[in-house]
Structure 1
């Protein structure tokens, strides 16, 4: 099976597959090394870690395409890629899908926010009309060359128009050809539980640590019927916490030892970036 076929099978199995987010190639390699079955290339993570900015529409197509290509080269598991609003109108969406498909995406996520978008768990969101959003989903479906490339349609309408309107939008996105549905930032446990009963297509549920959606265990979400359980920025938040703790120790104690438990070992760092394989190549070609 190709990575796209594997991802489709994971989504359709509806067993709550946990998909962590990666913000660069090394974080992706850590995720794969720990045995996760797919990776989410996070727009918020790229914006935070690459640009040092909040998730408010600062990332462009070039940045997410570059990160997707680098991550695709580093790992072999399926990649779900956050394409925000598609970076414009339906024609821009068409171009975005062509670009990200070439970069190695196995699923491309598009959302219905007004540009510039913002994190789904921030205040002040607005959504475009249902008609415009549907046209963008249709453009995305038409743009792909590989029928196994998944198009994921996200709606942020729950925050602005209410839960019922969000469900209705998601259903219309499915009818427009979306393969995977993502109703973002629902705030009530009952709404989370209702979604798999209301929508027939496979769904992703976003677990944002510190966000507005109640946190469910992935096994609970599997029992409810969700295909994908997204932890888009757990690795990022963990990395920041680790950096803060290590650097605080360095500032205060004037040193950090490998035995401190604060840092991974030098050898483990080299293993993760594939130094033994590069050493073997160097020997082979010298």
Structure 2
């Protein structure tokens, strides 16, 4: 499969939601849902793989390997976070090479300064727009597969304001980005203004639908009406798992038993089915 081409094909068929997987097991769960695309968040990768906050602590190669593990067990097109591209022009180009080799359909790269932070955490900085447009052009030039999908993200709202964020995205479109992503709008009014101001760019608009972040929650239908056609659900699987596992552990420590939570956990056989144990056993037995 050509992941980038498949993502473009599915997007042409209509607005697309990318469910966030934070490891290979949740990748398999996303696959089971019938979702049309998947997303890998840098925030979720830092937390799930390393137990770190999203403060630029995960290296380029660590993230590439994390993406590879997730892509290996799905045939869904995967959009993966690439932070700032991990440095200057040459680092951005190597990021394209690594993300393509890992099996991603595309990525988003942002205009934050270093050290970068999660888009919904205070204290961010942004680089000059000219530097970011150079990164976008370098990323496009580095693509081995012309269908690899490049999303340009700005974090400028919290730093230089909404107007600058919108103007930056117009420059990113001129530089050749496939889609535009203004992260962390703080009101429905801001979301509406983004949609209205960027509709003339002829690029799909991306919305980060992290429910507990800075942005208000809107349904996909409402977002489509405002002009957004790619919706990311970056951390919902991780936050759901955190809530459930925390409660389960508390019960075990408090009660010293698991029978009172039996109806809240998956069975051993369900997990075996998810990781395809029967298929592996049949394959092994075929060799005698």
How high is the TM-score relative to the length of structure 1? Answer: 0.96
CA distance in 2, matches of 1:206, 1:12: 20
CA distance in 2, matches of 1:67, 1:27: 13
Aligned to 1:181, the other structure's residue is in SS state strand
> Could you say which residue in structure 2 is the equivalent of 1:10?
10
Cα RMSD (Å) of the superposition?
A: 1.5
Relative CO higher for 1 or 2, CA cutoff 8 Å, sep ≥ 6? Answer: 1
- Structure 1 residue 258: Cα displacement: 8.9
Aligned to 2:5, the other structure's residue is in SS state helix
What is the aligned counterpart of 2:244 among 239, 242, 258?
A: 242
CA distance in 2, matches of 1:159, 1:168: 14
Number of equivalences:
285
Gapped runs of 5+ residues in structure 2? Answer: none
> Could you say which residue in structure 1 is the equivalent of 2:216?
214
- Structure 1 residue 211: Cα displacement: 1.1
Would you say the 8 A contact 1:258–1:265 is kept in 2?
A: no
> Could you say which residue in structure 1 is the equivalent of 2:20?
21
> Could you say which residue in structure 2 is the equivalent of 1:132?
131
CA distance in 2, matches of 1:5, 1:96: 19
Q: Deviation string for 1:164-196 (max 9, x for gaps)?
A: 110110111111111011100111202212323
- Structure 1 residue 213: Cα displacement: 0.7
CA distance in 1, matches of 2:14, 2:260: 42
- Structure 1 residue 24: Cα displacement: 0.9
Write out aligned runs for 1:196-275 (5 A). Answer: 196-199=195-198, 200-257=202-259, 260-275=262-277
Which consecutive segments of 4 or more residues in structure 1 shift more than 6 A?
A: none
> Could you say which residue in structure 2 is the equivalent of 1:112?
111
Gapped runs of 5+ residues in structure 1? Answer: none
Aligned to 2:57, the other structure's residue is in SS state coil
Would you say the 8 A contact 2:3–2:148 is kept in 1?
A: no
> Could you say which residue in structure 2 is the equivalent of 1:148?
147
Would you say the 8 A contact 2:195–2:228 is kept in 1?
A: yes
- Structure 1 residue 14: Cα displacement: 5.0
Would you say the 8 A contact 1:258–1:264 is kept in 2?
A: no
